[in-house]
């Protein structure tokens, strides 16, 4: 999820928003730096698949990096980022209490 979504979820779940923000930002930076190389090593060449993977894993920073690769990859990264944030914000508040029982 994006940093604002993860902070909001942390507040809702009474977790530490500052720590959540740091972890989310580190995930984005790591994904933006490593994802292109990892996907190349995995021989993922399809722009749609690359964009979807990068957007879901590395949110805004990864999406910006995907856009540098190609407009199509960037578009699918943006779509994936939005859908991932939506799914996370809908599923996590319901799932965490079940896991903590």
Q: In the chain, what are the domain boundaries?
A: 3-94
**pTM of the predicted model, to two decimals?**
0.87
Question: What pLDDT sits at residue 50?
Answer: 97
Question: What pLDDT sits at residue 59?
Answer: 86
From first to last of the 101 residues of the chain, give the pLDDT tens digit: 789 999 999 999 999 999 999 999 999 999 999 999 999 999 999 999 999 999 999 989 999 999 999 999 999 999 999 999 999 999 999 999 999 88
Question: What pLDDT sits at residue 101?
Answer: 86
Q: What gap in Å lies between CA 6 and CA 58, rounded to an integer?
A: 13
CA distances from 51 to 11, 34, 67, 71, 97 (A): 30, 14, 9, 10, 32
């Amino acid at each position: 999820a994006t940093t604002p979504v993860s902070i909001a979820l942390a507040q809702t779940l009474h977790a530490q928003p500052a720590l959540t923000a740091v972890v989310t930002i580190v995930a984005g930076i790591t994904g933006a730096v490593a994802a292109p190389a990892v996907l190349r090593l995995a021989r993922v060449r399809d722009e749609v698949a690359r964009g979807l993977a990068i957007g879901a894993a590395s949110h805004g920073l990864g999406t910006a990096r995907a856009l540098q690769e190609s407009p199509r990859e960037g578009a699918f990264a943006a779509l994936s980022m939005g859908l991932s944030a939506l799914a996370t914000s809908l599923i996590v508040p319901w799932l965490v209490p079940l896991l903590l029982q």
